Amino acid sequence: MFDSKRPTLLLTLSLLVCLWQSAALAQPDSSSSQSDAALLANLSPVSDAMLRSPADKDWLLWRRTYDSQGFSPLDQVNRQNVSQLSLAWRTELAPGPNMATPLVHDGVMFLASTEDTVLALDARSGNELWTYKHESNATPSARIGIALHGEKVLIPTQDLHVVALNSKSGAVLWDHEISANATDLIPYALRGAPLIANGIVIQGVTATMIPEGGFIVGLDINSGEELWRFHTVARPDGPGGNTWNNLPLAERSGGSVWVPGSYEPALDLIYFGTAPTYDTGPLLKPVDIPGVTNDALYTNATIALRPKTGELVWYYQHMANDQWDLDWVYERQIIDLPVNGVSRRVIVTAGKMALYDALDAQTGEYLFSIDVGIQNVVTAIDPITGAKTLHPNATPNSEQGHLICPFSNGGRNWQSAAVNPESKMLYLPLAEICMDTGPTTDQGGLLSTGVTLTPTPPLESDGKFGRLQAINLETRQVAWDFREVVPPTSAVLATAGGLVFGGALDQSLKAFDDRNGDVLWQTDMGDIAASFPITYSVDGKQYIAVVIGQPTIHTNIWIGTVTGFLGQENSPVHSLTREGAAIVVYALN
């Protein structure tokens, strides 16, 4: 017989269960809270020894190690099992420009999000441990990351401060404002992560069109006090002062330093790259004054400094008087390589042309170059000095334009290469896109010569604009490449598991076989990665972490460019889900 009271009883029981579940969800998970507290309590100070030789499980520096190789010795995730990778956790982030590099130490992840926000997360789950926000009225800008030392988290801010936080609580330990001349033009900015070397906090400063140019500062690790400053635009009365076409200091600009430096502890030298100037017009034609050139030191150079004093030990200018914004500001990777039968400690670096120069790390002596074949600006390189001969069409003129490769957005850009120190293989993300350049005018634009820079496919393009290039640094040969329609948008990560990870404009993350470029795994991350992927291990489990959905100007230019080339309907980026900013973390099933 039907019991009329039974539905009411069931409904009452259901409501009680729902109320119990809601109450349970509303209460903090005491076991989780205790675990988070223990994680912070057990967080050990990051010593100089740790920075020189990080534990395999940690990612303590921008590219994990002082040599900026972007390589991890972890191999739990490898060629055989990478197909089993799946999402381990995901934490939403605020929208805004960024080029994030998470750092991980003792199971705690430190992440600089947009608008000067720093998060400490449980690297196993994404649970928030603490958060800090630096308040300012500055316009949000993209920054590469943060640094760790002792019990400090060092962050550069949008308003030209460097702030030291307590790594266990997020409390401010000191706050130093870098002094700089005020300007109504594009402001100074801190884009790169700080480099901690020999107890000094070293921070590069960008100065795109600001009179007197960029610089690097060294700060005291305990107080933030400025100890030294190195100017990357030569002063008229100093070394290199006669290389600016006789311009007064107020009319010299550029030399921005917006990518973190590298450090060689055995030599006690830090290495930074510098950008060119956008004010190219006054440098276009050399003045007829004996002893004066238009090379524009120290733009487009590698500079080696003493971290304690800022003393310039050596410099090497890769490209004098860059008229196309094809700068050489990117990572300086340090590796041992045989050169003429002798092992040398070598700095390898490439500008936007994806043309690599190799220099002796101790002296700056030029050793060799490697060209991956996407540029048409340089036609010859002196084998002794590395001096580059330019194509006659590679100088702007007022009569006609030319096809210049690559586009000023870069054949390669801030998306760093990775190096496997065992195999001596380098993996570089590239874009195969050129530019139509118009005659010089007085209309201004990106560069003060007034040339137009319009992206265009290379001659005989097959419609594939993205490329991952493998280079054997021992043989100096291009080993293999993987090509696809969309350009890469993230740095690449190499691991001892025989893998190379990289993100692309179609919001994909791929794992490549480092021997041949075969795609062994890929996933749709839900948004575009314009960041630096890392890998780390906690409690014996390896994770791969990537920040997505915080695009840069560089990424947005590629979205418009690819859509313009292929048309709205045929563009792979036309129908992206763009789910928003987050950090996504993967592990084996």
Residue ranges and CATH numbers for the domains of the chain are 43-72+79-588 (2.140.10.10)
Tokens of 335: 């590796």
Please report the pLDDT score of residue 31 as a whole number: 59
pLDDT over 50 at 144, yes or no:
yes
Nearest to 580 by CA among 90, 57, 242: 90
Mean per-residue pLDDT of the chain? 93
Please report the pLDDT score of residue 36 as a whole number: 86
State phi, psi for 51 to the nearest 5 degrees: -65, -35
Tokens of 488: 């890469």
pLDDT over 80 at 366, yes or no:
yes
Distance CA(209)–CA(252), nearest Å, equals: 9
Parallel/antiparallel/unpaired status of strands 453-456 and 71-72: unpaired
Distance CA(456)–CA(570), nearest Å, equals: 17
pLDDT over 90 at 564, yes or no:
yes
pLDDT over 50 at 1, yes or no:
no
Beta partners for residue 336, in sequence order: 345
Nearest to 93 by CA among 585, 536, 533, 548: 548
pLDDT over 90 at 351, yes or no:
yes
Distance CA(239)–CA(107), nearest Å, equals: 47
H or E segment and range at residue 359: strand 355-360
Nearest to 194 by CA among 153, 141, 142, 133: 153
Please report the pLDDT score of residue 575 as a whole number: 87
**Rounded mean pLDDT of 319-343?**
97
Please report the pLDDT score of residue 86 as a whole number: 98
Distance CA(28)–CA(281), nearest Å, equals: 62
- Please spell the DSSP secondary structure of 102-151, one letter per residue: -EEETTEEEEEETTTEEEEEETTT--EEEEEE----SPP------EEEBT
> What is the 8-class DSSP label of residue 20?
H
pLDDT tens digits along 529-554:
999 999 999 999 999 999 999 988 99
Percent of the chain at pLDDT > 70 equals 94
Percent of the chain at pLDDT > 90 equals 88
pLDDT tens digits along 153-207:
999 999 999 999 999 999 999 999 999 886 655 689 999 999 999 999 999 999 9
H or E segment and range at residue 23: helix 6-26
32 confidence band (pLDDT: 50, 70, 90) = low
Higher-confidence residue of 119 and 34: namely 119
Tokens of 293: 């050139």
Q: Which residues contact 342 (CB under 8 A, 6 or more apart)?
A: none
pLDDT over 80 at 19, yes or no:
no
pLDDT tens digits along 274-293:
999 999 999 999 999 999 99
Please report the pLDDT score of residue 185 as a whole number: 59
Please report the pLDDT score of residue 443 as a whole number: 76
CB atoms within 10 A of CB 47: 10
